[in-house]
């Protein structure tokens, strides 16, 4: 099988390429040029591109660079800035997966005669034969639950999974590093990047300020009383506790962000609790919406603990009140370890700030 491996310069994609090669596939590595601005982390830095190229050379496989910078700016960076301007909390890695890694890259792979695309994501593609004889593809959590990345792949459909290989999904991170070390790969001990790839470390506020979306305003409590001032609403996200700059006898959390006025509402933990979250842009891996009566597991953070809920129309109703989900964040739905689908948390009505 001809396989195009997306090599980010990290240890996971390095081992993914090595495993596919060892399995007898015809492997080609590709690194995506996505960002032309300053970057010192993630898959957009010069160092990471060089690491990918040198690992490919170690493995003896061809390596190319695809320039998707214009697509990335339009589909990821622009919406990221716009979302902050609207008071949302975007996840740019999700949009990159949707539009670039499993959009443009899949298109390019098909156009150039590759049978499949592979990545180093910690998740598993599970294929089976249905009762009617049809081959089915599902996306399941990676074996290493602490590193599972199925959450950020919620938008994939069966047609995508049929052309996708995830060689490290059955491995723990420790096993990935051990295999890389045994192969002598230069990325074996490389630290993981936890930053947004197109923003320099610690430079998020400057990045947004340069694009005019750091609107100053008042910090208010749930009764509307001004309790402080801030220099940029885009610094805050729903549920945030640290860095509020408000002294109080009890812990306060960000309850709401009003991008139009710059007002940031803070309150005690109870004021965060909600019985549900509206969800926009729902998609389902198998193209089938689960019944409103079906109990599901709901995950609202990349490595958050799932909790019980049900999908009723375009609203996910929780089995018990949970902290409000920041608008713009992914709401992923699971049956056990199998991903059903998901969407993005939409703004709810901010009027009920009492927690009732």
Q: Is 43 a catalytic site residue?
A: no
Q: Is 197 a catalytic site residue?
A: yes
Three-state SS string over the chain comes to CEEEEECCCCHHHHHHHHHHHHCCCEEEEEEEECCCCCCCCHHHCHHHHHHHHHHHHHHCCCEEEEECHHHHHHHHHHHHHHHHHCCCCCCHHHHHHHHHHHHHHHHHHHHCCCCEEECCCCEEEEEEECCCCCEEEEEEECCCHHHCCHHHHCCCCHHHHCCEECCCCCCCHHHHHHHHHHHCCCCCCCCCCCCCCCCCCCCHHHHHHHCCCCCCEEEECCCCCEEEEECCHHHCCCCCCCCCCCCCCCCCEEEEECCCCCCEEEECHHHHEEEEEEEEEEEECCCCCCCCCCCEEEECCCCCCCEEEEEECCEEEEEEEEECCCCCCEEEEEECCEEEEEEEECCCCCCCCCCC
From the candidates 43, 44, 93, 96, which is the catalytic residue?
96
Supply the residues annotated as catalytic. Answer: 96, 197
């Amino acid at each position: 099988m001809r396989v195009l491996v997306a090599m980010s310069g990290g240890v996971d994609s390095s081992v993914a390429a090595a495993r596919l090669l060892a399995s007898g596939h015809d492997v080609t590595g590709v690194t995506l040029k996505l960002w032309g601005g300053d970057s010192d982390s993630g898959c957009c830095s010069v160092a990471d591109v060089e690491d990918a190229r040198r690992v490919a050379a170690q493995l003896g496989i061809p390596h190319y660079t695809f320039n998707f910078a214009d697509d990335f700016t339009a589909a990821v960076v622009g919406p990221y800035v716009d979302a902050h301007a609207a008071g949302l909390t975007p996840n740019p890695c999700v949009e990159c997966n949707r539009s670039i890694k499993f959009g443009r890259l899949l298109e390019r792979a098909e156009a150039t005669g590759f049978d499949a695309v592979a990545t180093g994501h910690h998740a598993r593609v599970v294929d089976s034969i249905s009762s009617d004889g049809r081959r089915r593809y599902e996306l399941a959590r990676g074996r290493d639950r602490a590193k599972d990345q199925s959450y950020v792949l919620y938008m994939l459909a069966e047609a995508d999974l049929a052309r996708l290989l995830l060689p490290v999904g059955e491995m723990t991170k420790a096993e990935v590093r051990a295999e890389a070390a045994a192969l002598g790969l230069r990325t074996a001990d490389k630290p993981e990047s936890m930053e947004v790839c197109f923003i320099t470390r610690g430079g998020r506020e400057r990045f947004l300020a340069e694009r005019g979306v750091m609107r100053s305003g008042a910090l208010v409590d749930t009764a509307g009383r001004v309790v402080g001032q801030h220099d940029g609403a885009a610094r805050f996200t729903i549920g945030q506790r640290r860095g509020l700059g408000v002294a109080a006898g009890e812990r306060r959390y960000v309850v709401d962000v009003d991008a139009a006025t710059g007002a940031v509402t803070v309150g005690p933990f109870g004021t965060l609790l909600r019985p549900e979250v509206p969800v926009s842009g729902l998609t389902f891996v198998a193209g089938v919406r689960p019944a409103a009566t079906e109990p599901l597991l709901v995950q609202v953070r990349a490595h958050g603990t799932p909790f019980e809920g049900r999908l009723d129309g375009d609203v996910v109703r929780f089995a018990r009140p949970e902290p409000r989900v920041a608008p713009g964040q992914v709401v992923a739905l699971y049956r056990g370890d199998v991903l059903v689908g998901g969407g993005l948390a939409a703004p709810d009505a901010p009027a009920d700030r009492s927690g009732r």
